[in-house]
Amino acid sequence: MASLDDLKKRIASVKSTQKITKAMKMVAAAKLRRAQESAEKGKGPYSEKMNNVILNLSNGISDKENAPKLLSGTGQEKTHLCVVMTSDRGLCGGFNSNIIKKAKSFFLKILDEGKGT
């Protein structure tokens, strides 16, 4: 059985570890908050630009007679235009590959349903 001194040292060691862990948790929380704020600031201009691109595409097909055939299609159900947009930034993790995987699965779904050529 452990002596009283050993138990006191063990308790002190655990308390010290708890303090270090608490400090590390606070630092991590501050870093996370800063990263979230930075992401929110960057989201505004990006989403505005994406909205403009999509709005321009949709405006391009509002007048079917004058719209480019690429955007307006031929009127047949088997004709689809899919616009896939990815990031041009590095260090974005699996963001681009996830978008490409989703696009491929969507294309395969269209082909399986017989709607694609």
Rounded distance between C-alpha atoms, residue 80 and residue 72, angstroms: 9
Structure tokens at 18: 């708890």
The active-site residue out of 35, 55, 92, 111 is 92
Are 2 and 10 spatial neighbours (Cβ–Cβ below 8 Å)?
yes
Residue by residue, pLDDT tens for the chain (117 residues) are 678 888 999 999 999 999 999 999 999 999 999 999 888 887 777 788 888 888 887 777 777 777 777 776 676 666 677 888 888 777 777 888 899 999 999 989 888 877 655
Four-CA torsion 32, 36, 38, 42, nearest 10 degrees: 150
Distances, alpha carbon 90 to alpha carbons 37, 54, 93, 94, 116, in Å: 20, 23, 8, 10, 33
- Catalytic residue status for 82: no
CA 54 to chain centre: 18
